[in-house]
Amino acid sequence: MVLLFKGRSWSHGVVALGALISPSVLMGFERANLDLLILALVGSAALIYEEQSTKRMGAAVALICFGVVLKIIPVFCVSLIIRLSKQTVLFACIVSAFSFFYFYGILDYLILIRRNVPSTFILSYGYKAAFMGIDHLRGWAGLSSIHLEETWVPAFTVAGLLMAAGALALRTRGQIRSFAISASSSGTAFLFGAGIYCGTYMLGTNFIYRLMFLLLCIPQLQDWQTRCCNGHQSTGNAELGLYAVVVGVLWLNGNSNGHSVSAFLVLPQMLNWILFFAMSYVLMLVFLRSWGFAGRATRSVPER
C-alpha cells in the first residue's frame, strides 16, 4: 500500500492512513485473516502489471493465480478485461481458465466450505446482509421474522440494480468525461479493488474485513480528486462523491455495536448498496468506452 500511494501529497497520505486504520481493515488484523496476504498479492500484481510488458503481465498473473489457490477472491481481478487490450484479454483468459480448472478440482471442498461458513448481518456486507438485518429490526419492534433473505427478493434486488447501472452507463457513456481509468498501477489497482468488491457482494454475505480490498481503489480516486482540483470541477463531482462513499463504507461498517444499534445497522447497509451500484456503473461505463460503445460525445461547455 505504501508503494501504491507513493508520490502523493501529504493530504492524500492522511486520508490513506485513515483508510488503512479504519475499523473494517483493523478487523482483518484482529482476526489475523488470510485476506491480508491476498491483499498483498493483489496489490503487488497491480504494481507489477504493465500493458506493454509480457513478462510483467506473466508475473502479475502468477501472483493472482497463487492468490486464487489460497482463496477464491482474486478471481474477480478478471475485471481488468474491461480496459480492452491484448494484454488485459490474455490476463483475464489465463486467470479464468486456471480458476475454472482449479475450482472444478476442489468442487467438493467448495461446497463443504459454503455450507459451513456462517452467514450473518453482524459486521457483514453483501446482498443478503441487509435483508437478514430486517428481521433483527422487526424483532426490536416486537414483530415476527419474515426471512426475506431466503426468498427471491435479494436476488431480484441485486439484478435490478445491475440492470439500472447498465442502463445508466449506456445513457451517459458519451455524455460525461468522468471515471477515466488510467493505464498506470493506480488504474489497475482500482479495477482489481472494484471487481473484488462487486464480486464478493454477490456472494451473499462477507465479514467486513474483506472491505480492505477497497484500499486498492483509493489511489485512482485520489488521482481523480487531483484532476478535479486542477480545474475540472465540471467532471469531478461524481468522482469526489465515490471517494467519499468508499471512505464512509470503510469506517461506518466497523462499528462494533452495529448489531445492537439500529442506526449503525441501516446506515452502513444503505451505503454498501450505494457503493455496489456506483462501482457497477463505473465498471460498465469503462467497459462500454473501452470496447467501442462510447457513442457520440456531447459538446463540451467552455470554462469561464
pLDDT digits 0-9 by tens, 155-213: 999 999 999 999 999 988 877 778 888 888 999 999 999 999 999 999 989 999 999 99
Reported as half-sphere exposure (CB side, CA atoms, 13 A), residue 76 has a value of: 23
Are the C-beta atoms of 211 and 125 separated by less than 8 Å?
A: yes
Where along the chain do its domains lie?
A: 10-290
Residue 235 pLDDT level (bands cut at 50, 70, 90): low
Residue 263, amino acid: A
Task: Classify residue 168 by burial, with Cβ atoms within 10 Å: 0-12, 13-18, 19+.
Answer: middle
pLDDT, position 295? 55
pTM of the model: 0.89
Pairwise CA distance, residues 156 & 165, whole Å: 14
Residue-wise pLDDT for 72-101, tens only, equals 999 999 999 998 888 999 999 999 999 999
**H helix count then E strand count, the chain:** 12, 2
Q: Measure the CA–CA gap between 267 and 245, rounded to whole angstroms.
A: 12
Angstrom distance (rounded) from CA 24 to CA 20: 9
Percent of the chain topping pLDDT 70? 90
- In tens, the pLDDT along 251-297 reads 998 765 545 556 667 888 999 999 999 999 999 999 998 877 665 44
User: Does 66 have pLDDT greater than 70?
Assistant: yes
CA distances 208 to 28, 119, 269, Å, are: 8, 12, 11
